[in-house]
Amino acid sequence: MTSTDNTTPNGGAWAAILAAAIGCAAFGVLTDLAEMSKRISKLFTFHLPTGDLSGKSTLGVVAWLLAWGILHALWSKHKIRRPGAITLISVLLILIASVLIFPEFVERIAAH
Q: Dump pLDDT digits (tens) for 38-89.
A: 999 999 999 999 999 999 999 999 999 999 999 999 999 999 999 999 999 9
Mean pLDDT score, 86-109: 91
pLDDT at 22: 98
Supply angle C-alpha 91, 45, 30, rounded to 5: 25
Instruction: Report the mean per-residue pLDDT for the chain.
Output: 92
CA–CA gap between residue 78 and residue 73 (Å, rounded): 10
Q: How confident is the model at residue 105 (pLDDT cuts 50, 70, 90)?
A: confident
Identify the burial level of 4 via C-beta atoms within 10 angstroms of its C-beta, where 0-12 means exposed, 13-18 middle and 19 or more buried: exposed
Domain coordinates of the chain in residue numbers?
12-111
pTM of the entire predicted model: 0.87
Q: How confident is the model at residue 104 (pLDDT cuts 50, 70, 90)?
A: confident
Would you call 2 helix, strand, or coil by DSSP?
Answer: coil
The amino acid at 71: L
Torsion sign across C-alpha atoms 37, 34, 65, 96: positive
